[in-house]
């Protein structure tokens, strides 16, 4: 028998215990900011400075936080399985916890790319630069002379890594969903690509909108939920 394959689909909830707020919980980011202003492609063209400042703030916050036990337990799954992490998060906490195969569906806040570059997953990753935790300002230019923009999939843009993510879910024996409200498509529909015989777990302290009988809901926060999941896996 081949190695167990696990596809882990994560959202902001996995980083909540690191101190990064989620988007849609009470007091979440979208209570204080309008996503259509700060995180959409139309918002970018309306007011680039507002969008740059929003992601400068996200980058600065990320600098001060650490991966938590949930990120670490997800990384440790690689000891016993072929794991691919598909995250909606733009933070780098999965990588910092040691996960080696991470697909960032919605981009990465520590990276930038030229506004006018044609970004598509197959060839233009070379236009993407690591900026670490630095600010990006109006007038900061890429080598091709165009304004730098956050390497984020804005609302209204395509999700170039979707196909890769679908492939990983289709191969998985276990699909583990952690800390996402499953409100944003197409990420929210990824689990539907799971094989009919795959097991699906979801770790979230809130009620979940999924009704398929084969889905096991571990109703808990990410850290203690992951501990329960690991116990379940060892049975």
Interaction pattern, residues 28-47, with ligand OAD; x per rule: CB under 6 A: x------x---x--------
Query: 3-class SS at 149?
Result: strand
Q: Is 206 in the site for ligand OAD (CB under 6 A)?
A: yes
- Which of these segments, 124-132, 135-143, 174-182, 189-197, binds ligand OAD (CB under 6 A)? 174-182
**Which one from 94, 104, 106, 151 is the annotated catalytic residue?**
106
Q: Confirm if 26 and 103 have CB atoms less than 8 A apart.
A: no
Query: In the bound complex, which residue of the shown chain has the CB atom lying closest to ligand OAD?
Result: 13
| Beta carbon nearer to ligand OAD, 31 or 130 | 31
Spatial separation of the C-alpha atoms in residues 131 and 136, rounded to whole Å: 8
Could you tell me which residues come within 8 angstroms of residue 85 by beta carbon, excluding any fewer than 6 positions away?
Answer: 8, 10, 74, 94, 99, 101, 102, 103
Q: Is 217 a catalytic residue?
A: no
The dihedral formed by the CA atoms of 8, 21, 217 and 103, expressed in degrees to the nearest 10: -10
Interactions with ligand OAD, residue window 175-204 (CB under 6 A): 179-181, 183-184, 204
Q: Are the beta carbons of 200 and 194 closer than 8 angstroms?
A: yes
Q: Which of 228, 104, 232 is nearest to 165 (CA)?
A: 104
Find the binder of ligand OAD among 23, 44, 55, 119 (CB under 6 A): 23
Nearest distance from C-beta of residue 40 to ligand OAD, angstroms = 9
| Closest separation in Å from C-beta 111 to ligand OAD | 14
Based on the shown chain and the rule CB under 6 A, indicate whether residue 158 belongs to the binding site for ligand OAD. no
Pull the structure tokens for residue 168: 């990983």
Give, as ranges, the residues between 132 and 151 that touch ligand OAD (CB under 6 A).
none
Q: Are strands 102-104 and 129-130 parallel, antiparallel or unpaired?
A: unpaired
The residues annotated as belonging to the active site are 106
Binding site for ligand OAD (CB under 6 A): 11-13, 16-17, 22-25, 28, 35, 39, 88, 106, 153, 179-181, 183-184, 204-206, 221-222
């Amino acid at each position: 028998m081949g190695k167990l394959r696990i596809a882990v689909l994560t959202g902001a909830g996995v980083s909540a215990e690191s101190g990064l707020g989620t988007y849609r919980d009470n007091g979440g980011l979208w209570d204080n900011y309008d996503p259509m202003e700060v995180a959409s492609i139309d918002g970018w063209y309306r007011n680039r400075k507002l969008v740059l400042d929003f992601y400068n703030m996200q980058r600065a916050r990320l600098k001060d936080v650490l991966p938590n036990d949930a990120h670490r337990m997800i990384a440790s799954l690689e000891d016993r399985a072929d794991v691919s992490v598909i995250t909606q998060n733009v933070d780098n906490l999965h990588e910092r916890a040691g996960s080696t195969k991470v697909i960032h569906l919605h981009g990465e806040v520590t990276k930038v790319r030229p506004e006018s570059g044609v970004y598509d997953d197959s060839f233009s990753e070379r236009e993407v630069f690591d900026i670490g935790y630095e600010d990006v300002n109006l007038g900061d230019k890429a080598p091709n002379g165009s304004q730098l923009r956050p390497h984020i999939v804005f609302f209204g843009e395509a999700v170039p890594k979707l196909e890769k993510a679908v492939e990983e879910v289709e191969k998985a024996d276990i699909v583990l969903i952690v800390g996402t409200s499953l409100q944003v498509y197409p990420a929210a529909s990824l689990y539907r690509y799971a094989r009919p015989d795959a097991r699906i777990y979801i770790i979230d302290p809130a009620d979940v909108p999924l009704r398929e009988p084969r889905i096991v809901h571990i109703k808990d926060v990410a850290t203690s939920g992951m501990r329960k999941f690991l116990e379940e896996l060892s049975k």
